[in-house]
């Protein structure tokens, strides 16, 4: 498992850190990529 070392809490904190930055810079493409990457990982770990 590639993401076995990432706990849901770590993912949430990382997501909450990058989300405001991406929104502030209007990086919608990065935001979409983050959503498509992080949400499935979190769903798999939960």
Average pLDDT over residues 26-46: 73
* 1 in any annotated domain: no
* 33 in any annotated domain: yes
* 2 in any annotated domain: no
Domain coverage including residue 21: 8-45
* 38 in any annotated domain: yes
Query: Quick count: other Cβ atoms within 10 Å of Cβ 43?
Result: 9
DSSP track, 21-41: HHHHHT-HHHHHHHHHHHHHH
Count of structural domains within the chain: 1
* 14 in any annotated domain: yes
- Nearest-5° Cα angle at 20, 19 to 23: 85
* 23 in any annotated domain: yes
Give percent above pLDDT 90 in the chain.
0
Average pLDDT over residues 23-44: 73
* 34 in any annotated domain: yes
pLDDT, residue 1, reads 47
Is 39 a residue whose pLDDT tops 50? Answer: yes
Instruction: Give me 33's structure tokens.
Output: 């990529």
> Is the pTM for the entire model greater than 0.85?
no
Q: Tell me, what DSSP letter sits at residue 7? A: -
Is 3 a residue whose pLDDT tops 60? Answer: no
Looking up tokens 């850190």, which residue turns up?
A: 17
């Amino acid at each position: 498992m590639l993401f076995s070392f990432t706990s849901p809490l770590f993912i949430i904190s990382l997501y909450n850190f990058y989300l405001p930055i991406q929104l502030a810079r209007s990086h919608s493409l990065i935001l979409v990529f983050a959503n498509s990457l992080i949400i499935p990982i979190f769903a798999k770990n939960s």
